[in-house]
Amino acid sequence: MDNSLFDNIDRQILAFLSHDARLSLKVLSGKIGLSSPSTAERIRRLEERGVIQGYSAQINLPAVGYEMQALVRIKPLPGMLHKVEKMIQAMPECIECDKVTGEDCFVMRLAFRSIGQLDELLDGLADYAQSNTSIVKSSPVKRRLPPL
């Protein structure tokens, strides 16, 4: 989105909501210095323009049993690109996937409970793609907004 299409107040709203989407309208209004109705209207316009696409909870994966994550680079075998893409989309343990340029076609992030489960997940792709897996040790930078 073109930066000229929103102002500093919109940027503040986006920053506060990306940090805590559960902020009440009253608290958010106080932080940005607008009335609640004005803030609500700004949020509504950001939603209508597709800048705000939704609201979600951030779940602590280890707290729900997913102690491990891996980044997997995937290179489909000839003629298997669409099949592999559908397989990735159907894999509930795939929590994120990007179609990329370069030697590999996909980079996906898997959440899993054990190395055995990781093997099972990757074995399902083995007949259709080559993969290269890196176990995530830590994430010093979590997904965040770039400067607005």
| Both structure tokens of 72 | 């997997």
Q: What is the domain class of 61-135 according to CATH?
A: alpha beta
| CA triple 64-69-73, angle to 5 deg | 145
| Most distant CA atoms of the chain, gap in Å | 59
| Both structure tokens of 128 | 């259709």
- DSSP-derived 3-state class of residue 40: helix
Domain residue ranges of the chain, discontinuous segments joined by +: 3-48, 61-135
CATH match for 3-48 among 1.20.1050.10, 3.40.50.2000, 1.10.10.10, 1.10.3720.10: 1.10.10.10
Please state the pTM of the whole predicted model: 0.83
**φ, ψ of residue 110 in degrees (nearest 5):** -110, 140
| Rounded-to-integer distance, Cα 82 and Cα 85, Å | 5
- pLDDT of the residue at 3: 52
pLDDT per residue rounded down to tens, the chain (148 residues): 455 578 999 999 999 999 999 999 999 999 999 999 999 999 999 999 999 999 988 899 999 999 999 999 999 999 999 999 999 999 999 999 999 999 999 999 999 999 999 999 999 999 999 999 999 999 999 888 888 8
